[in-house]
Amino acid sequence: MRLLLATNNAHKAREIREILGDSFSELLTMREAGVDLEVEEDGSTFQENALKKAQETLAFVGDRFDAVLADDSGLCVDALDGAPGVYSARFSGEGHNDAANNAKLISLLADVPDELRTARFCCSVALARKDAEPIVVLGEVEGTILHEARGENGFGYDPYFFYAPFQKSFAELTAEEKNSVSHRKRALFKLKEALDVEHRSHL
């Protein structure tokens, strides 16, 4: 079964290959497959966006691929009623400006006490398939929002996201540490479990 990954992010593609490589005969990124397509992410949830991206991409490449994998992720802060959520990348306006997004986040949380600064990174992964129903899963990792940035690694909201089990912000973690607990990794393992269950039921 040929799988198209609806991404050109090399790190993301490597992680997907490591977890799902045994489930598909071939996995290609958009660039590797020569596919140029932008799907508007206008859903109200990560699951809606991931599924829309996967299904529309599959409709575009269905003559060449059996399935498409897409994901959508972001930060959900309890004190902000789940914001920035699906708007995580453009929280401060159009354009992916990490510094401006973080400045807005910290400003909105200025008067929120530590015990109420709970948050989670969420990642939804959707697998659209020509010959079967789609599979949509959600992975999450819990944390709290710091008052000041810590660490030089990572990107986005990582410097302000404190992960208690490691007593570090996500930007203080090594790539290996972050990957071991990431929301995307958790979502991908849920997807692999669902595929394995399907496979066993067909034996």
Amino acid 12: pLDDT: 86
The sign one gets for the Cα dihedral 157, 101, 46, 63 is negative
Catalytic residue among 63, 72, 98, 158: 72
CATH number of the domain within which 62 lies: 3.90.950.10
Number of domains in the chain: 1
Could you list the pLDDT tens digit for every one of the 203 residues in the chain?
899 999 988 888 888 998 998 889 999 999 999 999 999 999 999 999 999 999 999 999 988 999 999 999 999 999 999 999 999 999 998 776 899 999 999 999 999 999 999 999 999 999 999 989 999 999 999 999 999 999 998 889 999 999 999 999 999 999 889 989 999 999 999 999 999 999 888 77
Active site residue 63: no
Q: Strand pairing of 161-163 and 135-145?
A: antiparallel
Q: Which domain holds residue 64?
A: 2-201
46 contacts 53 by C-beta, under 8 angstroms: no
